[in-house]
Each structure stands twice: as structure tokens, then as C-alpha cells.
Amino acid sequence: MSKRYDDKVVIITGAGSGLGQATAIQLAKEGAKLSLVDLNEDGLKETKEKVLELAPDAETILVKADVSKEDEVKNYVDKTVEAFGKIDGFFNNAGVEGKQNMTEDYTSDEFRWVLDVNLNGVFYGMQHVLKVMKKQGYGSILNCASVGGIRGVGNQSGYAASKHGVIGLTRNSAIEYGEHNININAVAPGAFMTAMVEGSLRQMGGDNWEEVGKEFVKPNPMKRFGDPKELGHTVAFLLSDEAKFINAQVITIDGGQSYKY
């Protein structure tokens, strides 16, 4: 029986943990060939092991890369094309939170670093993947923004600025490339229980972070964190041929919290 991603090639950045790892597992189960990218080599190896547990025949390549460095981004794109000959989908997911601080205390070095990873990294990825997809005449790109890209969250100047930028970049590029049979969208996850969110809770509560987490989700209509698997299913749909006419959209996945007065 054929699967939705049979013979499809997908790049996932930030694949070594969290949302990227969950998406890699889901796409592999659906038949995708995967180019897994992360700065953390141990994380990449762990993702590959988890992928092969559930999809033993999955074809994967692992590429270590710092997405804030354009030459390393170009390398992971080139490596993918060398290995598989094409790029059908791209989950442009790698990101960092940065240290929490009021704007007046947010250092310029921290601000620069967060934008380098979260915004410049997304731009470099799009730039080099789009060259491949335009030549092919098709493709799907999904950028990872955040609810911090559609509203203020406090104490996160760099993160909020970078994720707002990702949404602007997504919408602008989607308008440019629709005529080339390339659709470009973004997801805006809320609080999913990942290592990054745990780190954020630890910044707020230290060893008491789990209790802080319980308080954190109380305002959410669903009273819980998201499960990374839930985002993996959403990404799998948005990068599939079933979603080709969805373009320039930002899909918020946060249990409804963004719309609560």
C-alpha cells in the first residue's frame, strides 16, 4: 500500500530534538526520505535511531550545521540534492529562545544571536532551497514561527522580533513563488513540551519548573501543553500534496490560547 510521502524528500532543520524530531518520525512513518539537520550530532543520531525503530526502511542522511552560517546552510542543501536528487519539502524549524530579560536589559549580543539563528537561519534556508525548488518547478516550505511571532509574550525581545520576522518573510516569499508551484506557509506553535520549553520554564522556576509549568498552562483553554507528535501530524499535512493550495498562511497550534481575551 502506497504512503503519502513515498519517494518524497524532506529536509528538517532542528531535527535533533523536540518538534523537529517528532516531525522526522512522522514523515518517516509516511514513507519520506529525510535529510536531518542539526548542530547537535548526538541529537541527530538519536533521531535517526527513533526513526529506524518505527520505519526500518527509511532513508536518511544526517548533516551537522549551524543555520546561522550561510555556508553551512548551503552545504546541507547541496548534500540533500547529492543524496536524493531533489527536495520536495522543507521544514525550516531550527530555533533558539535566548535568555529571558526585559528589553532594557536584553544584551545586544543576545539579541544578535537569537536573530542570527531564528531569522537569518530561516532566510538562508529558504534562499538556497528555493533555488532548487524553482528549478524543479514545485515544492513546499513550512517555516517554524511561534505564537511569539503573532503577539507579545514579555521578556523575549529577540525571540519575539525574530519570530515576527519569520512570519513576514513567509508571507512575502509565498506571494513571490506561488506562480512557480511552490507553496510557503508557517506554523506558530504555542507551548509544546520540548527541551526548549523545559529550559524556558527552568529560567522562570529553577528546580520548581514543573510547578511553574502547571501554572503556565492554566490560562490555556485546553489546560495542557501540546504533544510534539501533534505538531508532527500537522506538518506532515501542510508539506503534503493535499495542502498545495494553502499558501502564505500562518497556522497557529496552541490549544486556542491566542484567541482568548
* pLDDT for the residue 192: 87
pLDDT digits (tens, 9 = 90+) for 31-57: 999 999 999 999 999 999 999 999 999
C-alpha cell at 47: 533521531
Low-confidence ranges of the chain (pLDDT < 50): none
- Distance from C-alpha of 24 to C-alpha of 39, rounded to nearest angstrom: 16
What pLDDT is attached to residue 125? 98
- What structural domains does the chain harbor? 9-190+227-254 (3.40.50.720), 191-225 (no CATH)
Spatial neighbors of 78 by CB under 8 A, at least 6 apart, are none
CB atoms within 10 A of CB 82: 9
Catalytic residue list:
159
pLDDT digits (tens, 9 = 90+) for 169-212: 999 999 999 999 999 999 999 988 877 767 777 777 777 777 77
Contact predicate 38/13, CB 8 Å: yes
pLDDT of residue 215: 81
Q: Which three cell numbers stand for residue 96?
A: 533558539
Residues with Cβ within 8 Å of residue 113, at least 6 apart in sequence: 68, 96, 98, 158
